[in-house]
Amino acid sequence: MTERLHYDVTGSGPVLLVLPGGAGHPMGLGPLTERLAARFTVVTYDPLGLAHGRLGLPVPEQRVADWSEGAHRVLEKVLPAGGSAYAFGTSSGGITALDLLARHPGRLAHVVAHEPPCVTVLPDGQERRAELIGQLDGPGRPPAEGETATPYGVFLARVLRPFTSYVPSFTAPPGGLTIAAGTDSRGRLLHDTAALLADRLGGGLVEFPGGHLGTLDHPVAFADLLTGTLRSSARTSA
């Protein structure tokens, strides 16, 4: 039996699929999606249903392919036959966006992937991944299950390891991909990763306000630059 899809829809206009980071819980993204909803039909996908009553339930180790296929099923529900959508993903959601583009390019007009932590693409990627996991997954980790479970606990226990080992293996369709990195991330691991991905996959690199949490810290400026990036891609492909 196919599992239930969890997503929210707001706004009007072209469809923009939003893929949150962490464990996919859209917490804190309200100001961003509100701003985007003035220009787009914003469809926010919650792959584990953590914002829809499933936080605290057991969660197995996650697979990128499962998240991207779930995102594709969401698009099949909200798009007309033959239609295409924009997609924006940040962090682990950025990895999902890349995999979605690789698997279903015909359903996507343009993808913006913000600081996807595909760190193993770097020449010393395995060592950098180990360092990243060590920095994030220290003692006193929040629980992933039960009454005191947190989305961050789910991310650390079930998402961090499998997602940071993901390596994109495709060439982006012409004009179909933008890799984004935060201005405050310059010189850091995820900015370096984004720059290499942009070069390897053929998408451009655009710097967005803030750092890895720019969607939360600068929602209005972030949303406006995202809108401009997507509109520019539409003009280029017209």
Distance of CA 233 to the CA centre of its chain: 19
Hey, what domains does the chain have and what are their CATH numbers?
7-237 (3.40.50.1820)
Q: How large is the C-alpha radius of gyration of the chain?
A: 17
Is-contact 223 100, C-beta < 8 A? no
Cβ-Cβ contacts under 8 Å for 97 (sequence gap 6 or more): 19, 68, 71, 87, 88, 89, 111, 112, 113, 116
Instruction: Report which of 116, 234, 97 is spatially closest to residue 181, judged by C-alpha positions.
Output: 116
Residue listed under structure tokens 């950098």 = 128
Q: Determine the longest span between alpha carbons in the chain, in angstroms.
A: 52
Torsion sign, CA atoms 23, 24, 29, 32: positive
Dist. CA 159–CA 20, nearest whole Å: 13
Torsion sign, CA atoms 85, 88, 92, 95: positive
Is-contact 183 209, C-beta < 8 A? yes
The per-residue pLDDT for 237 is 59
The per-residue pLDDT for 2 is 57
Instruction: Report which of 137, 101, 135, 133 is spatially closest to residue 119, judged by C-alpha positions.
Output: 133
Dist. CA 98–CA 179, nearest whole Å: 10
Dist. CA 191–CA 236, nearest whole Å: 26
Dist. CA 10–CA 18, nearest whole Å: 11
The per-residue pLDDT for 175 is 78
Could you list the pLDDT tens digit for every one of the 238 residues in the chain?
457 999 999 999 999 999 999 999 999 999 999 999 999 999 999 999 999 999 999 999 999 999 999 999 999 999 999 999 999 999 999 999 999 999 999 999 999 999 999 999 999 999 999 999 999 987 888 999 999 999 999 999 999 999 999 999 888 887 799 999 999 999 999 999 999 999 999 888 999 999 999 999 999 999 999 999 999 987 665 5
Residue listed under structure tokens 């080992």 = 165
The per-residue pLDDT for 1 is 45
Is-contact 25 98, C-beta < 8 A? no
The tokens for 86 are 């924009």
Helix (H) or strand (E) holding 37: none
